[in-house]
């Protein structure tokens, strides 16, 4: 509804600036530990901002001009494929057989949808595929950043990425936004990018990038429902069939289980959200408080043990 009267750079910038604004208080309260500025974290954050905060959202806005919102929603599941493929091949995340089957089903749904694309849909599909590859890289980098909280990552991504896109938009597109569309864009960014990103990052750091992204694949269901009901877009049979295939993929993913084996952890000092009900965070707090979820710099001694686990920040080992 907004993309018709707003340039893609301007709109992408406003969305991410809205995200930065809504998470800024939480990011500020958390403080920033010195570990955040280690070279390994800075490189990851830079990749997240460029790939996921600047280029990918602009491609999404461009694609929305050439295809229906329902089709775009379902096409965005290519992000799941990109995330899982990169997690498995490059980021050493353990992927079980069920997760691979789920990934193939989502890919099949995307092919099914592409077969029904309208004129201009091919260009939109290429833009979405490129955006999803970049967001897949973003997701994997985000899941292994251990020096910033989810709110801080979201704020940096939103403020810097959104600022860059808005500057490009104001320079090249010369869009004049009325108060209504401007407010709407910031509000959408606050909830659909800001709150959404914080929750996603918390999940990715605990579940791993691939499993978190598989769960994130449920978003197109709501996207299609809104496109059909609010925008009045026609319901295409292939879209409905693709939704059923994606539902089957999620059901298979939900049946996936943690795996357990003997593994070794090297000594490390980092910052991330954690609780004290696992086998890795037994450190004491000076005030005696043990919040359910909290974040602060902490150290781990070398340890070798065996327990069931997911590919979270502590379990990026080879299998």
User: Is the predicted pLDDT of residue 76 greater than 50, yes or no?
Assistant: yes
Three-state DSSP state, 97: helix
Element (H, E) at 270: strand 268-274
User: Is the predicted pLDDT of residue 15 greater than 90, yes or no?
Assistant: yes
DSSP conformation class of 235: P
- Over residues 18-28, the mean pLDDT reads 92
Q: Counting beta carbons within 10 angstroms of the beta carbon of residue 254, is it exposed (0 to 12), middle (13 to 18) or buried (19 or more)?
A: exposed
Residues contacting 249, CB < 8 A, separation 6+: 101, 102, 103, 105, 106, 109, 214, 217
| pLDDT class of 85 with cuts at 50, 70, 90 | confident
User: Is the predicted pLDDT of residue 33 greater than 60, yes or no?
Assistant: no
For the whole model, what pTM was predicted? Answer: 0.74
3-class secondary structure for 163-222? Answer: HHHHHHHHHHCCCCCCHHHHHHHHHHHHHHHHHHHHHHHHHHHHHCHHHHHHHHCCHHHH
Q: Which residue has the higher pLDDT, 214 or 134?
A: 134
Rounded Cα distance between 252 and 83, Å, is: 17
pLDDT at site 133: 94
Rounded Cα distance between 41 and 311, Å, is: 19
- For the segment 158-176, what is each residue's pLDDT rounded down to a tens digit? 999 999 999 999 999 977 7
State which of 52-66, 245-259, 280-294 shows the largest mean pLDDT: 52-66
Nearest Cα to Cα of residue 253 among 111, 144, 97: 97
pLDDT at site 34: 47
């Amino acid at each position: 509804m907004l993309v018709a009267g707003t340039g893609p750079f301007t709109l992408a910038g406003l969305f991410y600036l809205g995200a930065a604004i809504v998470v800024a208080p939480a990011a500020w309260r958390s403080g920033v530990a010195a570990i955040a500025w280690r070279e390994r974290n800075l490189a990851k954050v830079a990749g997240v901002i460029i790939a996921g905060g600047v280029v990918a959202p602009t491609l999404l806005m461009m694609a929305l001009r050439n295809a229906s919102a329902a089709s775009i929603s379902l096409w965005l599941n290519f992000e799941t494929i990109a995330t899982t493929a990169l997690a498995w091949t490059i980021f050493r995340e353990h992927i079980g057989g069920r997760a691979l089957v789920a990934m193939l089903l989502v890919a099949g749904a995307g092919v099914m949808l592409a077969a029904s694309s309208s004129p201009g849909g091919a260009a939109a599909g290429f833009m979405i595929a490129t955006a999803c590859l970049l967001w897949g890289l973003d997701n994997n980098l985000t899941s292994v950043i251990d020096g910033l909280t989810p709110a801080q990552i979201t704020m940096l991504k939103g403020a810097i990425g959104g600022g860059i896109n808005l500057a490009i938009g104001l320079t090249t597109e010369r869009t004049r936004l009325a108060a209504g569309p401007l407010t709407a864009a910031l509000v959408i960014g606050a909830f659909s990018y800001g709150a959404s990103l914080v929750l996603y990052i918390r999940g990715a750091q605990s579940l791993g990038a691939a499993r978190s992204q598989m769960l994130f694949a449920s978003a197109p269901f709501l996207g299609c429902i809104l496109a059909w009901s609010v925008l009045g877009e026609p319901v295409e049979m292939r879209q409905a069939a693709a939704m059923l295939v994606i539902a089957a993929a999620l059901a298979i993913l939900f049946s996936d289980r943690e795996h357990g084996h003997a593994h070794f952890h090297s000594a490390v000092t980092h910052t991330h959200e954690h609780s004290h009900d696992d086998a890795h965070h037994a450190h004491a707090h000076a005030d005696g408080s043990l919040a359910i979820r909290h974040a602060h710099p902490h150290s781990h001694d070398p340890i070798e043990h065996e327990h069931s686990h997911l590919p979270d920040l502590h379990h990026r080992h080879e299998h």
